Structures are given as C-alpha cells and as structure tokens.
Amino acid sequence: MSILSLINRGGGLMWVLLLISVVVIAIVIEKYRYLSKVRKLNQKLANALKQQDKLDNIKSVLRIYKGESPLSVILSKLYLEDSRDIYLVKESMETAAGLEMHKLEKGMGWLSTFSAIAPLIGFLGTVLGMVKVFMNISGSTQSAIDISTLAGGIWVALLTTVGGLVVGIPTLIFYNDLVGNLENIAHEMESQAVTHLKRFQSLT
C-alpha cells in the first residue's frame, strides 16, 4: 500500500499532518541555511577585525561590514557610536544583541508548536476513528461482530497517531538541534563583544 493511499485512508487529519510536514521542512531548511550564513559572516568580520591594531582601522572595517551580520550590528554600537559612557554603550550593545537574536529565532516558535500539536492531531484522528468504529458496531443489526471489519476499522483509526508521531518526533529533533545552533551563535557573539569591549577600552 502506497503512502498516498494510507493518507487517504487516514482521513482529513492526515492531510493536515502532511501540510504541517511540508511547512516544517521549509522552515528547517531555511533556518539551517540562514544560521550557516550568519555564522560565516560573523566569522568573516571577526577575522577582519582581528588583523587591525588601530581604532580608526577597526572603524573602517566595521563601516564596510555594517549591517551585514548580527555581530557587525552589535560591534557598531561599540565603535561607531559617539557616546563615551561605557555603561550606555554596553546597554546599547545588549539591546542590539537582543534584537538580533530575536531575528535569528524567527520561525522557531512554529517548529515548537508543530512538534507539540502534530502528535495531538494524530491522537485526535485516532479517537474520532474509534468513535466511528464503535458507532458502526452499535448501529449494526447483526448479532455477531465481524472481527475482520472491527480490526480494519481500528488500524485505519490508528493511522493518524502514526502520522502525528512521524511528523512530531523529527520536528522536535530539528527544533532542539536548531536551538543548540542558536545558543552557539549567541555564545560566540557574546565572546566577541566582551573581547572587543576590552580592546576598545585599551585603544581609547
């Protein structure tokens, strides 16, 4: 039996799960692509700044890379702002870091939601299927229950639970892995920010 025929046998909620799986795949691919790009751009900027030993040169590099990556936005608050109050500068950097992380986390809420609701949708489909099976039994005029018919109705009802788990489990795995990637990027940017704060203070 083909996957398409199983989906048809599972009913409308199986099509809902199929739609969720397509959306999940699109989000996952986009997030991995985007986070990989951000990491490379951050590293490129970090390497370029590492080669500079003068404040004016660092500022020039940041103007070239300004807005290109989250790290460039954060460090621009340090090197390209006019404020001399280091506490205000730190606060500005923290605000920028929070906004950049919010952008990086875009779409993660949907993955978390889908990983939770996919098994529930599957369970709902099974419950509805079982209700239908027992309604048919109670409405039957036959005195004896056909076991093969009963078993057939039950396995069809269980299809949505299988579908929900098949969608939900990989989604949860990808979500947790992406959260780990985000945490790594956040730690790397935090480390760079601390390093450049010390560097800025030594150069001014």
DSSP 65-98: HTTTSHHHHHHHHHHS-----HHHHHHHHHHHHH
Q: How would you class 19 by CB atoms within 10 Å of its CB: exposed for 0-12, middle for 13-18, buried for 19 or more?
A: exposed
pLDDT-wise least confident of 122-126, 139-143, 153-157, 178-182: 139-143
DSSP assignment letter at 107: T
Closest CA to 100 of 76, 73, 80, 81: 73
pLDDT score for 140 = 62
CA distance 101 to 133: 49
pLDDT score for 36 = 96
Mean pLDDT calculated for residue range 147-164: 77
Q: How would you class 4 by CB atoms within 10 Å of its CB: exposed for 0-12, middle for 13-18, buried for 19 or more?
A: exposed
Tell me the pLDDT tens digit for each residue of 19-36.
999 999 999 999 999 999
Half-sphere exposure of 173 (CA within 13 A, CB side): 7
Higher-pLDDT residue of 52 and 44 is 44
CA distance 114 to 108: 10
Identify the band that residue 8 occupies on the pLDDT scale cut at 50, 70 and 90: confident
pLDDT score for 108 = 95
Is it the case that residue 183 has pLDDT exceeding 60? yes
Kindly report the average pLDDT of the chain as a whole number: 88
pLDDT score for 99 = 95
Closest CA to 51 of 155, 178, 199, 201: 199
Is it the case that residue 11 has pLDDT exceeding 90? no
Does the reported pTM lie above 0.75? Answer: yes
Tell me the pLDDT tens digit for each residue of 73-116.
999 999 988 777 788 889 999 999 999 999 999 999 999 999 99
